[in-house]
Every structure is written in C-alpha cells, then in structure tokens.
Amino acid sequence: MPWRRSRDPYRIWVSEILLQQTQVETVKPYFTRFLRAFPTLSALAKAPLADVLKAWEGCGYYARARHLHEAARRVLTSGGKIPQTADELRKLPGIGRYTAAAIASMAFGEAAAAVDGNVERVIVRLLGERRERTSAAAQRRLRKTADEMMAEAVGAGIAAGDFNQAMMELGGLVCGPRRADCARCPLAGECRAQATLADVTVLPRKIPARAIPHYEIGAAVLRRGGKILITQRPLDGMLGGLWEFPGGKQQAGETLEDCVAREIREELGIEIRVRDEIASVRHAYSHFRITLHAFDCRMTRGRIRKLGVADFRWVRPEELAHFAFPKADRVILEKLKE
C-alpha cells in the first residue's frame, strides 16, 4: 500500500480519510490522484473546495473530502503543524477515534490503539465475546483489551504504528469475516473462539440486516442556447457541494414527469415542460438505492432563483467535465455524450 511507505503525517492522514468505508484496492488510484493534485497540506488548504471535490469524484462519501479540506484550512491558519496526539487530532473535522489513533500511532508513534472493523473482529473472537459488539458493555471490553494489547506491545519494543497495522492486517488477511485461517494465526493459542467453537466465524454475532429502501428520482436536463443547466447541492447535506441535474424524489401518487416539474418549481422557482425520458440509472448508496430518471425538459416561465440549491450554472456540454458530479449523474453525462 503506497501510503505505508511514508511517515509523512499528511500522506497518512489523507490515506486514512480515503480508507474510511472504502476498500484498499479502490483507494489506491484515488490516493495517487489526490496527492498529485494536492501534494502538501498547504496546497490542499489553499485550493477551492470545487477542485477538492473534483479530485475526489467517484470515491463517494463526499463529506470526507469537505471535512478534510476544512481541517487542512484550520491546521494551516493555526500554524501549519498537524496535531501529534489522538486527542488533538479528534478536534479536527472528519477525524474520529479510530482515524485519530491510526494517524497518531503511524506518524508520531503515540501508543493509541486503532480499532477498526478488522481489529474489532479479531478481539471479539480472541475474547469469545458473545454480546452484540455494538452494545456499550461489549465496546468497553473491546476498547480496554485493545489498549492493554497496545501497552504490552509497546512495552516489548514494538512500534505503536507497526502494532496497529499488524492487527489490521491480521483481521484483513487471516481472521476474515467469512473465513478464518486459524492455523496461520499468531493468536490462535490464546483465542477463546478457536478453543470453544466449531466455527469461529459465528462471532461477532450477526446483526439482522435492515430492508434497504428504494427511491425513484426524477431529474431535468434543461437546455438553453446550446447550454445545459446544472445545480449545486447544499454544502450541509448529502453529496454537499457536488453538481447535478436538478430534480428529486418521486412522491406517492405522482408520475415521474409530475415529480420533475414539482421539484424544479420548488428548487428553482420556474415552470418547465417535461418531454421524453433520456436515460435511467440504478445506483446504490450505503443505506438506500435509487433509480435516477433523466428527462429532456424546456423552461416555459419564470426566472431561476436559488430556492433549494446552493448555486446554478448554464454550462456548455464540453465544460461539464470540469464539475464534480455524483456517480449516477456521471452516467447520465455519458448518455448525453452518446
């Protein structure tokens, strides 16, 4: 992993933010691309948010990019030195307990245990913890054990960052969620799950999956004088700061065409004529799924106002590539090119 080849706290920080809820193989090209665009904390802090979101485009969970940008600005204005302890790092936007411990241990050698999903699974099996790992009692026990293991490792001369990485890799490569290679595990002799269970993968206890809702979304491709209208999502909401084709969620009892016309009226204060459907795209987010339907539309009455959007632009088709779009909207862009 390219971010493990450096003790540079900025590179480690960027990698840990990218790795939140994203797999290693997915992160690799984004890490390279992001550092090429913003090689230093100063470069990131001084860049416009639009450029940061564009560099992040396609990686998802865009709040991470907004928080990283804001945190870099705060660090720069306070002297430009990245905090060296987990407690201080947690004061920055987008940095929680795990990320703070990972950065502090790998970049600065602090003995802070970083407990991600992989490490949590290892410790649950090591302890034979039968309670749901999200319970307060289980979390206290897991945290206490992680801290004790870290203290023992550091006392034996092992670097804190090396120990955290070893625990992460143990969970990622040996003690997996669906398959555990106990014969290769250095903790097998101390593992209660391995000693008492026929199948260690029954731990952690599985939490029943919730039904994932699906929404139909209608969007307008509005054209005027060879340009297309795009709108920017509010910064404080989901996909904040990204650009999109204006529209929204279909309500009960309305057609998709009516949905598009209503959403445009509510967001922009204009009346439109909804014509043919151009394309539809299915897309999954972490907690819900959508089908985005894009319609060819024409403006019929009114003056555009920013009622439910952060901004709007009339853009020539060749200029659309300069803006950061959610993945589903980027598929619509490709359909328009075709």
State the catalytic residues.
Answer: 16
Judging by beta carbons within 10 Å of its beta carbon (0-12, 13-18, 19+), is residue 89 exposed, middle or buried?
Answer: buried
CA gap 21, 77 in Å, rounded: 29
Q: Which residues pair with 153 in a beta bridge?
A: none
Which structure tokens are listed for 116?
Answer: 């991600």
CA gap 19, 25 in Å, rounded: 10
Bridge pairing between strands 271-284 and 247-249: unpaired
CA gap 291, 294 in Å, rounded: 10
Question: Which contacts qualify for 235-238: CB closer than 8 Å, 24 or more apart?
Answer: 235/66, 235/310
Judging by beta carbons within 10 Å of its beta carbon (0-12, 13-18, 19+), is residue 48 exposed, middle or buried?
Answer: exposed
With tokens 């090119």, the residue in question is 337
Q: Nearest to residue 221, comparing CAs of 285, 280, 284, 291? A: 280
Helix (H, G, I), strand (E, B) or coil at 314: strand
List phi, psi (to 5°) of 333.
Answer: -60, -45
Per DSSP, the chain holds a count of helices (H) and strands (E) of: 13, 7
Quick count: other Cβ atoms within 10 Å of Cβ 278? Answer: 16
Judging by beta carbons within 10 Å of its beta carbon (0-12, 13-18, 19+), is residue 102 exposed, middle or buried?
Answer: buried
